[in-house]
A = this chain, B = another copy of it.
Amino acid sequence: MSTTTPHPFDAALQLAATAPGQYRGHTTPDYWNMVGPYGGITAATLLQAVLQHPQLLGAPLSLTVNYAAAVSEGAFTVRAEPVRTNRSTQHWTVAVLQADASGQEQVTTTATVVTAARRETWSAADTPMPAAPRPEDCAQIPPAFAVPWLRRYEMRPVAGTLPAQWDGSEADSLSRLWVRDAPGRALDFCALAALCDVFFPRVWLRRARQVPAGTVSLTVYFHADAALLARTGSGHLLAQARAQEFRNGFFDQSAQLWNADGQLLATSHQIVYYKE
């Protein structure tokens, strides 16, 4: 007799169908952030609802998640609806709902997903992976803060680490790190979506000030197909993020994630709230 414990990521993404296109999930302590789940696990959960929908066509192409309110500890509902299915693309609207104090379901998160049946075409990379030492030559850092989700990623910074001193000195907003799930796990679309939110807020780096910040909207474009994810396996990804503009309470972030062979798996963007 053998017992197996699922990987914390798979445990977090457990969704039980309760009606067509409606799923019941539960937050897990493993991916808890400060006042709610890690944004990446919420993105992955929304995508998972699409992937296990019986009408799914193709594989993820794009995902936009809007964090309207913190998800509270406990059960939640995910609704996923294929609103338009074409020959090779399918358009989804997705939402997370949770009962408020009065028992009424309220939307905490909205999302749109596009899935596509892809075929081989002429292809070309226009953003080469930047030079970086090999992952094994970059020291793994302990979690920088006492939030559980940070223990779910192995992080090996290459450039643009958290400021050593929170002294308000200004620097550029670029970070690079080698990163993968901890414990190791073969990469799939949901894990890749979650990894796109792995960067600490650019405003902390830019200002060397740890101001409150939180993602408002996140978009992921998937360039990898299932075969490329399978080839990547549980290897490290080189993840890069930078901001373009900080203005009156919100900054944007652009990110790229390559596998160790230099293949671009996903590009991602987010707009983030910050205080002061």
Contacts and interface: CB of A to CB of B under 8 A. Distances in A.
A175 interface: no
Interface stretch (A109-117, A139-147, A229-237): A109-117
Contacts of A248: 118-121, 123, 225
Given A126-B172, A245-B126, A252-B223, A91 B64 contact: no
Contact of A66 (B68, B91, B125, B126): B91
A86 B107 contact: no
B242 A275 contact: no
Q: What are the 8 closest A-B residue pairs judged by CB atoms, nearest first?
A: A68-B84, A68-B91, A127-B244, A64-B64, A118-B248, A62-B217, A83-B107, A223-B247
Contacts of A191: none
Interface of A: 61-62, 64, 66, 68-69, 83-84, 86, 88-89, 91, 93, 95, 106-108, 110-112, 114, 116, 118-127, 170, 172-173, 206-207, 216-217, 219, 221, 223-225, 242-250, 252, 254, 256, 264, 267, 269, 271, 273-276
Given A91-B66, A110-B91, A206 B124 contact: yes
A246 B221 CA distance: 11
Given A61-B271, A66-B114, A244 B256 contact: yes
A112 B114 contact: no
Contacts of A119: 248-249
Contacts of A217: 61-62, 64, 112, 114, 219
Contacts of A126: 172-173, 206, 242-246
B269 A112 contact: no
Contacts of A252: 221, 223, 267
A244 B264 contact: yes
A99 B31 CA distance: 44
Contacts of A225: 248
A121 B276 contact: yes
